[in-house]
Amino acid sequence: MNFDHLHEERILILDFGSQYTQLIARRVRESHVYCEIHPFNMSMESIRSFQPKGIILSGSPSTVHDKDAPLSDPQVFQLGVPVLGICYGMQVMSHQLGGAVEKALQREYGPASIQVDHGEELLRDVEQESVRVWMSHGDRILRIPPGFTIMAHSANSPVAAMGDTDRHFYGVQFHPEVAHTPSGSIILENFLFRICRCRSNWTMKSFVESATEAIRQKVGDDQVICALSGGVDSSVVAVLIHKAIGQRLHCIFVNNGLLRKGEAENVQRVFRDHFELNLTYVDASELFLSKLKGIADPEQKRKIIGNLFIQVFEQEAARLPNAKYLAQGTLYPDVIESVSFKGPSATIKSHHNVGGLPERMQLKLIEPLRELFKDEARMVGRELGLPEPSIMRHPFPGPGLAIRTLGEITAEDLHILREADSIILEEMEVSGWYEKVWQAFAVLLPIRSVGVMGDERTYERVIAVRVVESVDAMTADWAKLPYGILEKISNRIINEVSGINRVVYDISSKPPSTIEWE
C-alpha cells in the first residue's frame, strides 16, 4: 500500500532505542501530522527519498561515549531541514556538531523543574519559570556546539534546552512526549508548525479516502480473502476493503469453540446482516476441542490451535480459486517492532496475524492498516460506521479461552469460563470502566477451594479476575478498580455461575508478569 500522495508533509523519527520512541510518533500523529519511525542508521539515500519536513532524534539508554554508541549519519545535519534532538538525541546533536557531552554529576530520572531563558521558536508560549518536565539521563551537555544558544536550564542540567535558530536545530534534555511534561505538546507543536511549517492534514477521513482508492488500484479485478475474527483490527480491515471492492472480498470466520459468550452470533449479525459482507461461517468447534483433549501444556495448545486454524482456513479458501490476496490487520507497532533499533521484539506475534498463510497459499499480502496505531485504527472504524462495541472491543488472544482455562480443556470448563467472563464484561460496561482499561477477563484456575453455600460445604473451582491498564500491551499495570465493582463481580460470579465458589483479583503488573496467564 502506498499513500505517498497523502504524505506530502511528513516527519522522520530516527530511533536510537528509547522506550518512548513510539510515544513521540503518537504525539506527532495526534497533531494530525504524518510521521514514521526508522532505525537511527537509516541510509542517507532512504532519508532523502523520504523527503522529511523535519527530523526528530529519539532518546536512548546509550551514552555517546560508548564504544558502539548509536550515532546518526552527520549528513542528517546537512539536509537543510529542521532537526529536534530529544534527550540522547540532543547529546548526539551536540557530539556531532562540535559540542561536548560529559557524565552528569548526578543522574536525573523522573520529574524536574527547568527555567526557560528565552523562548525562541521552540519554547514559545511555555511559561518562563519552574516548568515541570520529565528527565531520564545520566549525561549532560558540557559545551554547546558553535551557533547554538542555551534556551533553558535546570539545577542539574546547565543546558536543558538549546537551539540554533539559523539552521533550525534544537535539542531538549527532557522528554516532551510523555504526559509528565505538561508543556510537552506545546513544544512538539512549535516544532511541527512554527519551525517545520507542517500542516494538519493527517486525518482518518482522508486516510479512508486514500486507502480505498489505493486498495482498488492494487487489487484491480482480483479477489481478496480476509480471516475475520471479530477483533478491532480484522473488523476495520474487512469493512475498509469491502468499501473499496464490495463482494470481491471474501471473509472467513472460523469458530474454534474457544470464543467468548455470544461472539459467533454477534460477528455474523454485525458483518453479514448489517454490513452485508460476503461472509463464510465455519463451525469447527468440535474439531478443535477433540484435538485439544488431554492437552495441558500452553505451548502445545497454541501450536495445535494455530495449525488447526491454518488447516481449516486453507480448506475454505480453496473454494475461492480466483482469490489473489490475503488481507491482514497488521498495525504500525507490529511493523516498528520488526525493524526498530534494540526494539522490544523482532517478531510479529503469530496469533495476531495469519502466520505463514500467504506463502503456503501463494497469495499476495494486503495490509491497509500497517501505517496506523491502534487508536487510529479505531478512528477509521468510526469513519466506516462500525458499531462502538466492535471498535472499543478489548484485545482477545488468537488461542482464545484455551489460554484462559489453565490445564486441560473441557466443554464444561469452557462453559464456566464464558459465563464468568460475560459477567466481568457486563459489570465493566455498566460501571463505565470498560473503555478506561486495556483488557478485562476471567481465568479459570485448575484448583478447587473449600467454601460454604447455604448450610452445605462446597469444594469447587476458582476464578481469577484480570483487569489491566496499558497503552500498547508492551507494559501493563493492574487496574485499581473500586471495591464496589470488584464486590459486585465476585458476588455475581459465585451466585450465578455453577461450579465456582471463590473469586480472586490479579494485582500483578507486566513486567514481571504477562497480561495473559498462559
Cα gap 156→175, rounded to integer Å: 16
Element (H, E) at 399: none
Cα gap 467→472, rounded to integer Å: 15
- Candidates 158, 159, 103, 113; CA nearest to 135 is 113
Sequence-distant (≥ 6) Cβ neighbours of residue 443 within 8 angstroms: 404, 405, 406, 417, 463, 464, 465, 466, 506, 517
**Set 108, 177, 376, 419: catalytic member:** 177
Q: Cell numbers for 261, please give them.
A: 459468550
- Candidates 19, 24, 48, 54; CA nearest to 37 is 24
On the CB side of 249, CA atoms within 13 Å amount to 29
- Candidates 280, 282, 205; CA nearest to 240 is 205
Give a three-class secondary structure readout of 57-118. ECCCCCCCCCCCCCCCCHHHHHCCCCEEEECHHHHHHHHHCCCEEEEEEEEEEEEEEEEECC
> Is 87 part of the annotated catalytic residue set?
yes
Cα gap 389→415, rounded to integer Å: 23
400 close to 258: Cβ distance less than 8 angstroms? yes
Q: Cell numbers for 432, please give them.
A: 463505565
> Is 435 part of the annotated catalytic residue set?
no
Torsion of CA 422, 424, 430, 435, to 10 degrees: -100
- Candidates 509, 513, 452, 462; CA nearest to 490 is 462
Kindly list the distances between the CA atom of residue 354 and the CA atoms of 30, 184, 264, 301, in Å, as whole numbers in the listed order. 30, 39, 19, 17
Please give the DSSP secondary-structure letter assigned to residue 403.
Answer: G
- DSSP helix/strand/coil, 173: coil
**Set 35, 87, 196, 251: catalytic member:** 87
Please give the DSSP secondary-structure letter assigned to residue 138.
Answer: E
- DSSP helix/strand/coil, 456: strand
Check whether the bond before 512 is cis (ω within 30° of 0).
yes
- DSSP helix/strand/coil, 342: coil
Longest CA–CA separation in the chain, Å: 84
Q: For strands 456-469 and 500-505, give the pairing.
A: parallel
Please give the DSSP secondary-structure letter assigned to residue 167.
Answer: T
Signed CA dihedral, 267, 269, 274, 279: sign only:
positive
CA 1 from centre of chain: 20
Q: Is 282 exposed, middle or buried (0-12, 13-18, 19+ CB in 10 A)?
A: middle
Cell 472460523: give the residue.
254
> Is 177 part of the annotated catalytic residue set?
yes
- DSSP helix/strand/coil, 131: strand
**Set 38, 95, 137, 175: catalytic member:** 175
List, by residue number, the catalytic residues: 87, 175, 177
